[in-house]
Amino acid sequence: MSTAAPRTAGPDHLWSVDEHLDDILATVRPLEPIELNLLDAQGCVLVEDVTVPVSLPPFDNSSMDGYAVRVADVAGASEQYPAALDVVGDAAAGQAGLLHVGPGQAVRIMTGAPLPPGAETVVPVEWTDGGLGEGPVAGMRARSLAPEGATGQVYVYRPAPARAHVRAEGSDVKAGDRALAAGTVLGPPQISLLAAIGRGTVRVRPRPRVVVLSTGSELVQPGEELRPGQIYDSNSFALTAAARDAGAIAYRVGAVADDAATLRDTIEDQLVRADLMVTTGGVSVGAYDVVKEALSYAGDEDEPGSGVEFRKLAMQPGKPQGFGSIGPDHTPLLALPGNPVSSYVSFELFVRPAIRTLMGLEDVHRPRTRATLTADGALTSPKGRRQFLRGRYADGTVTPVGGAGSHLVAALAQADALIVVPEDAESVAPGTEVEVVLLG
């Protein structure tokens, strides 16, 4: 799990986007599974093959409201020559004790009720007079209003073959069948099946708890007053929302001032509730880049295998990045740059896959597609760096929004895609086919 070990790459190595991502994905491991209540497991990945313990349905039951009868008793029945049967009682779903249907008898049966012994088939109530003696009816009267409906005589106007309107025991799933395979993501239909076979709890990988903290003495909480030189903290809000969106339980920690000791204390304090830590800011080459300063400390000899490495990536935005693990549990930490657009793009490319890897998902990346660039002029891009421009994607075309500046958060809010300009391209003309990362 360590990323602190010296790398062959060396400290001056310019990391490619893929090298950095590969390092993260090779380091981060799916969380240990736990047993969760069914509804708490929504969106989680199942880690067990779930076997059906009892067949579904567990017993032959009626698929209609009607009468459970013997086939011979209704053979040849018609409106002109109805079959007259004695109603011996009601079979309602969930009722204990089964009535018996003898020759010439019928049990009034409700959808889902077990087929009574002796009965061979079900005639829907619409094929009968419902016991009222006035021709075919549209339905039964509520038992509470008309209790006599469970007795007396019923006229049946149509025959039914054996086992008509009967759902056979095990016709849905059979005991011993595999209901769901390990690796299945639990959405509503899977939760439906698990409940139906009686599973109140299920073994899954939990949602990762992600602690998000921003750093910077210039940061002020939105809603408060801005003094000269200050700006609002947006990264901790954006990344908390993005972490939730990726499937995590996200905790936002307010902005931490540029002081290494305070930052270290805050991180150590938060570790207890973190499966993943994400910081923004303080990772570049300045004299006040405290994330770098504070976290080089975390990799000392007291905690072997722990440490955060700071890198330069061949990427724009998002050149300075930190990755490693901290604390006694080697909790993975991603240190993102502080510019709002840089941190958001870095989140999408590196943190989201890390979160989804922790969840045990197969599919950890945003979908990508190819699109034709629509723009007023050629896009320019620095040679040797992979550029991610914000764009809007529609019907196979993508249009840039805003410029390349990493602080253009207003444009980011209009984007639904990232346009990928490869390392070797310095200019991309309109009409060129480009790679696009589809956001949300």
Per CB under 8 A, contacts with a second copy among 244-283 are 244-245, 252, 257-258, 260
Q: Which of 164, 179, 308, 315 binds a second copy (CB under 8 A)?
A: 179
Two tokens, residue 313: 């990536």
Q: Which of 86, 249, 288, 365 binds a second copy (CB under 8 A)?
A: 288
Q: With binding defined as CB under 8 A, does residue 194 bind a second copy?
A: yes
Look-up of token digits 């139906």: 196
Task: Kindly tell me which of 180 and 333 has the beta carbon lying closer to a second copy.
Answer: 180
Q: Which of 2, 16, 27, 63 binds a second copy (CB under 8 A)?
A: 63
Task: Kindly tell me which of 407 and 430 has the beta carbon lying closer to a second copy.
Answer: 407
* Cβ 1 to a second copy shortest distance, Å: 27
- The residues facing 252 across adjacent strands are 212
Distance CA 278, CA 387 (A): 22
Q: With binding defined as CB under 8 A, does residue 223 bind a second copy?
A: yes
Distance CA 413, CA 211 (A): 23
Q: With binding defined as CB under 8 A, does residue 232 bind a second copy?
A: yes
* Cβ 84 to a second copy shortest distance, Å: 20
Task: Kindly tell me which of 126 and 430 has the beta carbon lying closer to a second copy.
Answer: 126
C-alpha closest to that of 93 among 80, 108, 104? 108
Q: Scan residues 304-363 and list those touching a second copy (CB under 8 A).
A: 338-340, 344
> Which among 196-204, 265-273, 323-331, 375-383 is the span making contact with a second copy, rule CB under 8 A?
196-204
Q: With binding defined as CB under 8 A, does residue 67 bind a second copy?
A: no
Distance CA 373, CA 399 (A): 6
* Cβ 329 to a second copy shortest distance, Å: 27
Two tokens, residue 39: 């509804």
Q: With binding defined as CB under 8 A, does residue 57 bind a second copy?
A: yes
Task: Kindly tell me which of 189 and 377 has the beta carbon lying closer to a second copy.
Answer: 189
Q: Scan residues 395-414 and list those touching a second copy (CB under 8 A).
A: 405-410, 412-413
Task: Kindly tell me which of 330 and 351 has the beta carbon lying closer to a second copy.
Answer: 351
Q: Which of 82, 206, 216, 400 binds a second copy (CB under 8 A)?
A: 216
Residue 355 near residue 243 (C-beta atoms within 8 A): yes
Task: Kindly tell me which of 77 and 197 has the beta carbon lying closer to a second copy.
Answer: 197
Q: With binding defined as CB under 8 A, does residue 155 bind a second copy?
A: no
Task: Provide the residue type at 277 as one letter.
Answer: M
Q: With binding defined as CB under 8 A, does residue 96 bind a second copy?
A: yes
Look-up of token digits 């320019």: 380
Q: With binding defined as CB under 8 A, does residue 191 bind a second copy?
A: yes
Q: With binding defined as CB under 8 A, does residue 113 bind a second copy?
A: yes
How many residues can be counted in the chain?
A: 440
* Cβ 98 to a second copy shortest distance, Å: 8
* Cβ 29 to a second copy shortest distance, Å: 26
Task: Kindly tell me which of 28 and 263 has the beta carbon lying closer to a second copy.
Answer: 263
How many other C-beta atoms are found inside a 10 Å radius of the C-beta of residue 123? 27
* Cβ 260 to a second copy shortest distance, Å: 6
Q: With binding defined as CB under 8 A, does residue 129 bind a second copy?
A: no
Count the residues of the shown chain that bind a second copy, applying the rule CB under 8 A: 115
* Cβ 18 to a second copy shortest distance, Å: 23
Q: With binding defined as CB under 8 A, does residue 440 bind a second copy?
A: yes
